[in-house]
Amino acid sequence: MARRPQAGTLTRADLADVVHNEIGLSRAESAGAVERILHHMCAALSEGQNVKISGFGSFILRDKGERIGRNPKTGVEVPIAPRRVLTFRASQIMRERVSRAG
């Protein structure tokens, strides 16, 4: 029997269950496949590559420069160090599917 996501959240275990039920791999092989996919995505991102999954969306790295911020309590200006941020941009197909589901 397929596991239901807890509180509306899809987990690694849920993905492994789907692979097990849909493809027929053992539970261990299914969990391993999910882990390998996530590992390759993380490795690519940590090497500075963007990850694009057609029909799903893109994980995009963006470098943000140093800037001046303000402490909201004291109002004192503080420098914010440059950093790399990860953003996700859903594909048009995904956006349409999500908007129809709501």
What whole-number distance in Å separates Cα of residue 78 and Cα of residue 14?
43
Asked if residue 65 and residue 42 are part of one domain, the reply reads no
Q: What is the pTM of this model?
A: 0.76
Band of pLDDT at residue 74, cut at 50, 70 and 90: very high
Domain that holds residue 90: 50-102
What whole-number distance in Å separates Cα of residue 32 and Cα of residue 15?
11
pLDDT surpasses 80 at 1: no
Averaged pLDDT for residues 48-77: 95
Residue type, 69: G
pLDDT at 7: 64
CB atoms within 10 A of CB 17: 20
Asked if residue 66 and residue 98 are part of one domain, the reply reads yes
Asked if residue 84 is part of any domain, the answer here is: yes
**How many domains does the chain contain in total?**
2
Count, residues in the chain: 102
Asked if residue 62 and residue 38 are part of one domain, the reply reads no
pLDDT at 4: 57
